[in-house]
Amino acid sequence: MKINDVILQTVTRIAVFIILTMAIYLFISGHNSPGGGFIGGLILASAFVLLCLAFDIETIANGIPLDFKKVAATGGFIVLGTGLTAIFFDVPFLSQTHSYANLPIVGKTALSTVTLFEAGVALAVVGVVVTIISSISEDV
């Protein structure tokens, strides 16, 4: 018997947009204030969990055709890469650096390797959490 969850599915479409916006904000503001890749990744994964509650797993898998195990591995390699890159410049592992650049539209902007590290953490967290949630939901 198919249950008609029109209200839940409609609210989920709006809520996921809000959740994703909050996750991006927390990711971007993470190196200057509370937040970062870990909490941004957890919030991104919570959007996926909400989608799984409102829709079935097959619909979500068709809408987001990613292998989240590969997403987690990519995040891990990015984190490892930012750490090992420091060794090539004769500084300790995971040392970070930053500089300023004049971008065409934005103007003077700070660029940092911390952002790459946080992106790797976010991808690893999203990949692991979504893999766990999808494997649990397939067993039910």
In Å, how far from its chain's centre is CA 53? 19
pTM for this entry: 0.84
Question: What pLDDT, on the 0 to 100 scale, is given for residue 31?
Answer: 66
Q: What is the mean pLDDT of residues 52-80?
A: 89
First to last CA, the chain: 16
pLDDT band of 1, cuts 50, 70, 90 = very low
Which tokens go with 118?
């946080």
Task: Reduce the DSSP state of residue 65 to 3 states and report it.
Answer: coil
The kind and range of the H/E element at 110 are: strand 107-112
Q: Which of 9, 18, 6, 66 is nearest to 46 (CA)?
A: 18
Residue 129 phi, psi dihedral angles, 5° rounding: -65, -45
pLDDT at 133 over 70: yes
C-alpha triplet 62, 13, 135: angle, nearest 5°: 45
DSSP state of 92: -
For 29-57, write each residue's pLDDT tens digit: 876 677 788 999 999 999 998 988 888 88
Which of the two residues, 110 and 80, has the higher pLDDT score? 80
Q: Residue 134 pLDDT > 80, yes or no?
A: yes
| Partners of 100 in beta bridges | 110
